[in-house]
Amino acid sequence: MQYIEALHHVGLPTANMKATVEFYGSLGGKVVFEKDDVEAGQPIQVKHINFHGVLLECYERTETAQCPGAVDHLAFKVHDIDEMYALCKKEGYTLFEDCASEIGHSTYWPKGTRWFIVIGPNAEKIEFCTEG
């Protein structure tokens, strides 16, 4: 699709931020952004780890899958989020419930992001996003 620019990040929920940062740090990853946020009324930490050119968006959750395949989503940067959203709706892609009626906004990034997620044929979550 001509709307997609590049892989933006990989979303990785974690129940143990310290262990996650230490693990990826031991493999050469570096924390490049961090902030405190709130999710479902609970304080959480968000950290972005540059892992050899791929951004890992690590965010705290009280419950995580804790099994192989536990990555939450792949996110692709797009040129025009509104056009991509319209295209996905037109094509009949299944939109994730959080963004079925509108494009979402996240404060997990320095400039914020606008995003939406479609569900792929294997139940994988594919996020399309743009910063700012």
Distance CA 68, CA 63 (A): 15
Indicate whether 122 pLDDT > 80: no
Average pLDDT, the chain: 93
Q: What is the reported pLDDT for 1? A: 55
What is the pLDDT, as a whole number, of residue 2?
Answer: 83
Q: Measured between alpha carbons, how far is 118 from 91 in angstroms, rounded to an integer?
A: 11
Token representation of residue 25: 């740090």
pLDDT band at 116, cuts 50/70/90?
A: very high
Q: What are phi and psi of 37, to 5 degrees?
A: -145, -175
CA distance 92 to 58: 30
Which residues, at least 6 apart from 73, have a Cβ–Cβ distance to it below 8 Å? Answer: 10, 11, 117, 124, 125, 126, 127
Note the pLDDT of residue 3: 87
Work out the percent of the chain whose per-residue pLDDT is above 70: 99
27-83 tens-digit pLDDT: 999 999 999 999 999 999 999 999 989 999 999 999 898 888 889 999 999 999 999
Cβ neighbours of residue 53 closer than 8 Å, sequence gap 6 or more: none
Collapsed DSSP state (helix, strand, coil) of residue 20: helix
Q: For the residues 85-109, what does the mean pLDDT come to?
A: 94
